[in-house]
Amino acid sequence: MVFASGGYRVKIYDIQAGQARRAQEDISKEMRKLQDSGFLRGLLSAEEQTSLISSHDDLKETLESAFFIQECIYENLSAKQEIFCAVESHVADGVILSSSTSCILPTNVFSKVKNRKRCIVSHPVSMHDILATILFVLWHT
């Protein structure tokens, strides 16, 4: 929702078939609620923001044209490493890879990534009514 509110196209992927579609539907409902309560971020309406979001069951298709990848899964080191290895094989060198890890060291999360200079930790904040921010964590490789 943070990225769509800024006018960016957002593609959602989940390893479980159909889960990305359900997430997209939930996001659409939440955007309408935020708009109705006057807390929707950005200059676009809920309908316009929702139109920027698509769901996919194929990782390669999801990553086409991406310039920023945001991983938002549970805190499991091997799962995060596996995702970033899979993602890296489908994107260009300049694409930013971002993890939402909270308690795993970034050095460990990105240890299997070939081009670590493009890796960051960020937490897109979804409390639209309170904050309009992204928290970035920087570290030395």
75-130 pLDDT, tens digit per residue, is: 999 999 999 999 999 999 999 999 999 899 999 999 999 999 999 998 876 554 44
CA–chain centroid gap for 75, Å, is 15
Cα separation of 107 and 139, whole Å? 8
Cα separation of 58 and 62, whole Å? 6
- The pLDDT assigned to 128 comes to 46
- The pLDDT assigned to 2 comes to 85
Average pLDDT over residues 62-70: 96
- The pLDDT assigned to 134 comes to 53
- The pLDDT assigned to 85 comes to 96
Closest CA to 15 of 99, 73, 91: 73
Query: pTM (2 decimals)?
Result: 0.85
- The pLDDT assigned to 63 comes to 97
- The pLDDT assigned to 1 comes to 81
Cα separation of 26 and 30, whole Å? 6
